[in-house]
Amino acid sequence: MPSRRNSLLILGLVAILLAAAVYLIFIRQPVSQATQLGLDLQGGVSVQLEGYRTDGSEVERDEMERAVQVIRERVDSLGVTEPEIQIQGQDQVSVNIPGITDTERAVEVIGRTAQLGLYEVLAYEQQDNVPEGEVQSAEDDLRQSLKDDSEFEEGETKILFEESPALEGEGTYVAGYIVSEQPQITGGALDSATVGVDDQSNRIVQMNFTREGGQQFTDLSQEISQSTLGAGEPGRLAIVLDDDVESAPVVEQAIPGGQVSISNDSLPGGLPQDEAEELQVVLETGALPVNMRVLSVTTIGATLGAASLAGGLIAAAAGFALVLAFLTFIYRALGMVASAALLIYAFLLWGVIVAVPITITLPGIAGVVLALGVAADANIVIFERVKEEVRRGKTPRSAIALGYQKGFRAILDGNLTTIIVAMILFGLSSGSVRGFAVLLSIGVLLSMFTAVVVTRALLGLISSRGGLNLTPRMLGVSPDSIRPAGRGSESGEKARVR
């Protein structure tokens, strides 16, 4: 049993911690803003992406870090608040954006590799008015026939396609272009991109080159303008984004000034507003260093989130109240002390969640509730020991001391196994599971403090001189079951040698 002075010291520490928790939760900001809620509780979009390379080689960690940078800029330019972007494992990244619902646009903007390339067109063929559903076979035909072209050389050149609404009439305009394997100018030469209009008031995305890039572009356009395609046709420049040809304008003379634009002349008004903005964002933020494929997309509506939060809180509160009632019923005075400790535990846990801060998710709530069971258990282990000692004839005071002494090792081992499992979960899993593991671990650690140290100090204070005189009945032990001290009985006692 700790001395009265030590008990007071511990309880003083608890009081300070509680005061800190009150400050963090209620005073520092309005209480409604204190706790960070996860997507599943407030609604939003969560996207899981995987980086990969077309040649199948491993993605490097620093490439993923650069990718995250780019994604962060893109998400910021969507104008949303507090996105959470994390690398997971070697090649995955999770993007959580609270409060948006336009999943399609978010995914399109985030996951787009946006590899920009400018190529000199070596040869091309086209088909207009391709009916819907036959685009693929039209491309296959074009590829077949372009492979016979004298400009095509396996390994040195590749064939890229353009698909756009037909120039006149129904269907799709499909064109195949033979270009060199590597682009003559890459996205690195780009300085900025802006949405603007051309002379016909059609919406375009204007790309502005860096000084060096501008020089490269002047040289390239010069070269193209002097070349001809097939039957004396003027040379063309292919503007390619992610292996799709956006447009392939004719270049009749060298273009100085370092500007080139992406347009869509076949649509009235040019590029649609959102497509233009999206293009501007991906060009402006630069290319992702690796390709990204979407692994999973989750959209949670705000109403569903709110309902989950309410359900989780009610469940936690009900569970909590019932556990307190249960402990008090079984262990009487001891149970009340344990209940006080559990209340302290709950409040300190909230304080930790706000202080770190930890984002609360549904699995996180589950972790908190489970840790509540573990916290109650620590007290049960100790109190069962105490009752056992009381039945052996010990005074409540020394029984309590022995109970803590003997119960502690079991609690330590038990809680360590729980924390080990939580750590494995944390290390090997991702996203929401991690929230569960974190809260379970913190809950278990905190519960060791409140259920062992704090209850012990409380009991020390209660049973110290001048305090309450605890009787066996107050500990939930009926006087009949107490055996006189000193008389060993029962086989369990015989086996005990120590």
Partner 1 sequence: MAVGRATRNIDFVGGWRKWFAVSLAVIVLGLAAIGLGRLNLGIDFTGGTEFTLNDPGSGVTADGVQNAVPSGVAGEVTAQRLGNGNFEVTTPPLSQSESAEVRDALSSQFDSEVSTTNVSPTFGGQVRDQALQAVGVALAVIVVFISYRFEFAFATAAIAAVIHDILVTAGVYALVGREVNLVTVVAVLTVLGYSLYDTVIIFDRIRENTPEGEYERSRFDRLINDSIRQVITRSIYTSLSTLIPISALLIFGGSTLSDFAFALLVGILAGTYSSIFIASPVLSLYKARRGARPQREDEPQPGQV
Q: How many residues does the chain have?
A: 498
Positions 373 through 392 that interact with partner 1 (CB under 8 A) = 373-374, 376-377, 380-381, 384, 387-388, 391
Q: Describe the crossing of helices 432-448 and 396-428 by its angle, rounded to 10 degrees.
A: 160
Taking the complex as a whole, how short is the minimal distance between the CB of residue 281 and partner 1, in angstroms?
17
The CA-based angle 175-178-179, given to 5 degrees, is 120
Angstrom CA distances, 388 to 194, 211, 287, 303, 407, stand at 79, 85, 70, 51, 11
Chain position carrying tokens 């005189």: 469
Asked if 215 and 178 count as a contact pair (C-beta separation under 8 A), the reply is no
Which residue among 55, 79, 484, 498 contacts partner 1 (CB under 8 A)?
498
Task: Please select the residue that binds partner 1; options are 57, 150, 417, 469, rule is CB under 8 A.
Answer: 417
List 307, 356, 357, 468, residue binding partner 1 (CB under 8 A): 307
Asked whether the beta carbons of 476 and 331 are under 8 A apart, the reply is yes
C-alpha 179/C-alpha 494 separation (Å) is 91
Tell me the closest approach of the beta carbon of residue 166 to partner 1, in angstroms. 21
Report if residue 347 touches partner 1, rule: CB under 8 A: no
Tell which one of 108, 125, 151, 163 touches partner 1 (CB under 8 A): 108
Q: Is 303 in the site for partner 1 (CB under 8 A)?
A: yes
Binding residues among 434-493 for partner 1 as defined by CB under 8 A: 436, 440, 481, 490-492
Per-residue binding letters, 257-296, with partner 1 (x by CB under 8 A): ------------------------------------xxxx
Considering the complex, what minimum distance in angstroms separates the CB of residue 465 from partner 1? 31
Q: In whole angstroms, give the CA distance from residue 324 to residue 243.
A: 63
Size of the site for partner 1 (CB under 8 A): 80
Site string for partner 1, 391-410 (x = CB under 8 A): x--------------x--xx
160 binds partner 1 (CB under 8 A): no
CB atoms under 10 Å from CB of 417, counted, come to 9
**Binds partner 1 by CB under 8 A, chosen from 24, 36, 38, 50:** 50
| Residues 351-370 as x/- pattern, contact with partner 1 by CB under 8 A | -----------xx-xx--xx
Amino acid identity of residue 290, one-letter, is: V
For partner 1, the closer of residues 133 and 169 by Cβ is: 133
The only residue of 62, 154, 199, 413 in contact with partner 1, by rule CB under 8 A:
413
DSSP β-bridge partners for residue 44: 98, 300
Instruction: Please answer whether residues 80 and 72 qualify as being in contact, where contact means their C-beta atoms are separated by less than 8 angstroms.
Output: no
Q: Please pick, from the candidates 35, 103, 218, 328, the single residue that binds partner 1 as defined by CB under 8 A.
A: 103
Residue with tokens 């605890």: 470
In Å, how far from its chain's centre is CA 26?
A: 27
Please, which of residues 1-40 interact with partner 1 by CB under 8 A? 40
* Phi and psi, residue 245, nearest 5°: -75, 120
Which tokens belong to 315? Answer: 């469940």
Among the residue ranges 73-81, 215-223, 261-269, 324-332, the one whose residues contact partner 1 (CB under 8 A) = 324-332
Q: How far is the CB of 327 from partner 1 (least distance, A)?
A: 7
Contact between 123 and 146 under an 8 Å Cβ cutoff? The reply is yes
H/E element holding 336? Answer: helix 302-355
326 binds partner 1 (CB under 8 A): yes
